[in-house]
Amino acid sequence: KQEVTQIPAALSVPEGENLVLNCSFTDSAIYNLQWFRQDPGKGLTSLLLIQSSQREQTSGRLNASLDKSSGRSTLYIAASQPGDSATYLCAVTTDSWGKLQFGAGTQVVVTP
């Protein structure tokens, strides 16, 4: 059974520092991996989607890497801002229907 783990569970950094969020999964047979952002009491915002054949994706200050063979992904957020404060979730697509298996998330606080 696929298990997705995110470390750390919580992270607090001063504004301007780079953020590094880790995600690991136990079964490398995935279709893709996605990173989402969730603000308190809100739905999910998709940040990056990495296909299983890709090694990384970039969007603005965000960069995500994928090492499928070792079951790991890392989300880098450069020059963090207070507006980056949120919970970040990673999820892997486990079947052809698009079913997602989520990690528990990393709660990020960026202090001014």
Candidates 81, 104, 109, 111; binder of another protein (CB under 8 A) is 104
Does 88 bind another protein (CB under 8 A)? Our answer is no
**Could you tell me the smallest distance in angstroms from the CB atom of residue 8 to another protein?**
14
Among left, alpha and beta (phi > 0; psi -120 to 50; other), residue 41 is left
* Residues within window 53-82 making contact with another protein, judged by CB under 8 A: none
Candidates 18, 26, 51, 81; binder of another protein (CB under 8 A) is 51
Measured CA to CA, the distance from residue 54 to residue 50 in angstroms comes to: 6
Does 43 bind another protein (CB under 8 A)? Our answer is yes
Q: What is the strand order of the sheet 62-67 is part of?
A: 4-7, 19-25, 72-77, 62-67, 56-59
